[in-house]
Structure 1
Amino acid sequence: MYLSFERLRPRSFQARMTIFGILLFFFSALLVVGFSGFFLHREFESRLQQSILGQLERYSNLHLQSKALLLLTLQQEHDQNRMRGTWLHWQEDQGVLWETIPANWEQDPTRMRFLLQTHLVSGDEWSRMPSRHLELSSKSPPEDYHNLDLEEEILITARVLSDGSVLAIGESHAFTQLQIKLFRRRVFRILLAVGIVSILVGWFFTRKALRPIQDLVETTETIAAGSLDARVPEPNTSGELAKLTRLYNEMLERIEHLVTTMNESLDNVAHDLRTPLMRLRNSIEMAITNETASVEELRDTLLDVAEEAEQIQLLLTALMNQAEAVAGTMRLRKELIDINVLTQGACELYEMLAEEKQIKLRKNFAEIPVFLEADPVRLRQALGNLLDNAIKFTPEGGHITVSILSESNVVNIEIKDTGVGISESEQLRIFERLYRGDQSRGSKGMGLGLSLVKGIIQAHRADIQVISSPNQGSTFRIEFLRPT
């Protein structure tokens, strides 16, 4: 058995985001501390070099005035230079003229000459020599040196004076190292404290920021359990997650509406299919059980069966046509037709049905032929559905007016009735698939007619509108745009 990385990997997105933020913070902090230490070291070293060069320049100017003046100055500043850790070495060919050795160095002339010789051989303006090349005295360095594990480094430069003698100055880097080490120690302590606070604050804000996603997950689980009315609580913010929440709730509204409508429509479809199927079955059973039936009676029974089968076929065909219309895959066989002639033919099919209800069917067509590129079968089907609805919902003694208005770039077909009308709320839904309004619930049909009409009209790249008020009749207007 072993513990794999996958088992250690946090499964919570919130935990992963928090850990990622912490790692990013510490990595950035380490970079900042590293670069800060580097640039501080460069800055301290630059200042130390400027200090040494300033001191060397001052001594050179004193030497130009008088060799004795320089020697006197070195004697006067001897104690001060020893305490600050400054090494001074002035020599000529005959020997050493003056030397100041820091207080914690051993008085070893051989090592001092070695120090100067090493610098001169290097040929560089500056030399750095670790303190391990020197023998320190028994005097203990500052306690901070021990605590910070410092290794003292000597920065050395030299200059040839006017008489050919050489003056070398070296100064310890210990102060620079001490400041940088102390800086890093303090910064790491601060970063540790800030890191702990960042973990707590990061966890809190990550939890708050991801709360909409958590609500989304919980709502999805509730919906998966069968509660379609569940909604995600909308946050008070206006960011991307708030927009996602609103869109998700809108989608849930549409899904719930679709599922509810589908369940209601399936009940209607089952009812409309059950009736012809029951009649068909009854006719067949009667023909089978009636052993004395004549050929004429059997023929009538077969005609009833064929009629019921045709009703079922028409119902299924309407469902398929409506599905094509909604999906936008309806195939049209367009040809140049006269809208006057096609509409006249559709009206003639429903004139007898209108006369049975004592409804006057008025026609107001254009005086000249109106030609359009359209599928005559589909367009006649759409007009037939509109006329059938107008007759169905217009009371006896009413009238229906079919008009064709032709303009330069638009052709309008209007079917206006004096029926029961449609409420404003229902006007927004009458073109929905399988929707049946309050006025149509007691009549035959499944709510496919107007949805199919809209699909046919849209397939022709035309538009259909309804203008209606309760008890004031309805007007359905189809608008075709003529190509320019």
Structure 2
Amino acid sequence: MKLRSQLALLVGGIVVVPFLVAASVLMLQYLNARSNARDPERILPGDWIRSGTTRSDRVLELRGLAGQRPPGMEVVVLGTDGTIEFSTIPGFVTGTGVDPAAVLEYLRENDQATLIRPREPRQDAASTGGPASEPLFLVRIPPPPAGQPTMLRVIRSRVVESMIYPALGLLLFASGVSFWIVRRFNRSVRSLEVATRRVADGDLDFSLPVHGDDEVSSLTRSFDRMRLSLVEEFARRARFIMGVSHDLRTPLTLIQGYVEAVSDGLADDPDTRRKYLSIVQDKTRALDGMVTDLIEFVRMDTGEWKTTHRPVRLAPFLRPIVQRYAEDAAILRRSFGHAIELSEDLEVSMDEALMGRALENLIGNAIRYTAEGGSIGLRASLEDGVPVLSIRDTGIGIPAEDLPRIFDPFYRGTNSRREQGFGLGLATVKSIVEGHGWTVDVASEVGEGTTFRIVMGKGPATA
């Protein structure tokens, strides 16, 4: 779960949980009130009397009903004939007559006392002027004990309960969710901290476990990808150093051997000495070219050259290059053609010297791997408004198994393993082109030739 979702869950719970707990408390209070209402000790006098008199009309039954009164309730049953049929109140004697003045005086002195008639008098008795057919109940409920809570206290207690329980529920929920979030977050952060310390100490040979799918876990995955990239980079640099050491050692060994031969007197005659010195000179030039390639590749790897971009008119930039290589191709008995189908004022932001270096590598390779009588061509045109450079040849071609790796540093294809150099030419081309935000691709068939295309897609062309 994402960290954002976990925080949303926490905030949502903070809003919803108090309402759920409050609703639960109110429901319990309501059910408790209903249960208390059904308790015989809490039945109101009128409800208790009516519940009995609906089933009793005789004096004996009324006495039985009065005897079953709720605890604490005092009652006097006043009969329809003016006598007291049943009494638990002192001063009212069973079997004596009813003194209305005494009843009124009792009602005035006792606020908890009341007169209750279970039912309305029967219609026949009321219409004939006869006595009422239903008895009267003089009922007194004793005042609540001193310790019994008043209504205000009850209301206050319930309000406090309605606030305390939601607060406790909110506290428990927030604590639980916060503990869960912090535990997940802390586990990922501690794992990431250990990994950063190991990387800082130079240890890259470990696996970084990832738990969950939140933002910290995503950061951990990105950190692990960075670790793997560093592993690949260090391996690449190790291969780079090994390749440089090997390729530099070969010409240096030859130079050393011929110089020692001359110094040991093995080349006493002028012709032999001149031959040896010519070989040393050739190897020195080859070594200089290799060092130049190496410097250019390292420069591409640092990216410092990207600060030298400036707008360059593409057509005038290409013409001197194609004219120079047309002469070289003619000397080597190869034909060189070109087609620059661009407006004179079309400008592209680039490093002019490095782009010239990339084109020299591509055109030089085309001439080198094309036999006498073959042809090389350069075409510059617009495709969907984007400048595209194509360098094609009718040379020996590149085997299909070599195509995926021809831009790798120090990689030499099947047809170039006998050539001198580091194998950095096409790697340098790729670095220059991609450093400008462009793309380079290749298509080739063995025996048919090769075509390289540079698509200046992201380098904005302006006219």
Scaled by the length of structure 2, the TM-score of the pair is 0.52
Aligned to 2:253: 278
**8 Å contact from structure 2 (residues 330, 336) kept in 1:** no
**Where do residues 57-68 of structure 1 align in structure 2 (5 Å cutoff)?**
none
CA apart distance, 1:476:
0.7
Question: What's 1:110 paired with?
Answer: none
**2:325 counterpart residue number:** 346
- Whether the 8 Å contact between 2:329 and 2:335 is mirrored in structure 1 is no
Of residues 281-290 and 213-222 in structure 1, the stretch that sits farther from structure 2 once superposed is 213-222
Q: Does the 8 Å CA contact 1:364/1:402 hold for their aligned counterparts?
A: yes
User: Is residue 77 of structure 1 aligned with residue 53 of structure 2?
Assistant: no
1:462 Cα offset (Å): 5.7
Correspondence for 1:390 = 366
- Contact 1:276 1:308 (8 Å CA) reproduced: yes
Aligned residue for 1:475? 451
Percent identity at matched positions? 24
Provide closer, same or farther for how the CA distance between residues 70 and 240 of structure 1 changes in structure 2, counting only shifts above 3 A. farther
Report the Cα offset of residue 448 of structure 1: 1.7
Q: What is the RMSD of the two structures over their aligned residues, measured on CA atoms?
A: 5.5
Q: Is the 8 A contact 2:395 2:449 kept in 1?
A: yes
- Residue in 1 that maps onto 2:376: 401
- Report the 3-state secondary structure (helix = DSSP H, G, I; strand = E; otherwise coil) of the residue aligned with 1:445: coil
Aligned pair 1:451/2:427, yes or no? yes
5+ long unaligned stretches in structure 2: 27-103, 114-138
What letter matches 1:364 in structure 2? Answer: G
Q: CA deviation at 1:450?
A: 1.3
Report if the CA contact (8 A) 2:342-2:382 is conserved: no
Q: 1: distance between equivalents of 2:415 and 2:272? A: 39
Specify whether residues 365 and 232 from structure 1 end up closer, same or farther in structure 2 by C-alpha distance, changes over 3 A only.
Answer: same
Q: How far 1:240 moved relative to its partner?
A: 2.8
> 1:320 maps to which residue?
295
Distance in structure 2 (CA, Å) of the matches to 1:185 and 1:375: 73
Q: Check whether the contact 1:415–1:475 (CA below 8 A) recurs between aligned residues.
A: yes
* Aligned-partner residue type, residue 357 of structure 2: Q
Partners of 1:367 and 1:401 lie apart in 2 by: 14
Counterpart check, 1:263 vs 2:323: no
Once the two structures are TM-superposed, the CA of residue 475 in structure 1 deviates from its matched residue by: 0.8
Is residue 416 of structure 1 aligned with residue 393 of structure 2?
Answer: yes
Q: What do the CA deviations read for 1:412-469 (whole angstroms, capped 9, x no partner)?
A: 3322334242537x54553344444565455432232113223444567765331235
Partner of 1:55: none
- Provide the C-alpha distance between the structure 2 equivalents of 1:368 and 1:189, rounded to a whole number of angstroms: 80
Asked which structure has the greater CA Rg, the reply is 2
User: 2:396 is paired with a residue of what secondary structure?
Assistant: coil
Q: Matches of residues 194-273 of structure 1 in structure 2 within 5 Å?
A: 194=172, 206-208=182-184, 213=189, 216=192, 230-233=206-209, 238-273=213-248
CA distance in structure 2 between the aligned counterparts of 1:470 and 1:217, rounded to whole angstroms: 53
C-alpha distance in 2 between matches for 1:412 and 1:214: 52
1:377 deviates by 5.3
Q: Structure 1 311/292 Cα, relative in aligned 2: closer, same or farther at 3 Å?
A: closer
How far apart, CA to CA, are the structure 2 residues paired with 1:398 and 1:74? 139
Distance (whole Å) between structure 2 residues aligned to residue 234 and residue 203 of structure 1: 20
> Structure 1 CA distance, aligned partners of 2:415 and 2:109?
118
Give deviations 1:80-111, integer Å, cap 9, x for gaps.
Answer: 79733xxxxxxxxxxxxxxxxxx64xxxxxxx
State TM-score, norm by structure 1: 0.51
Q: Distance in 1 between matches of 2:319 and 2:169?
A: 89
SS in 1 for 2:290: helix
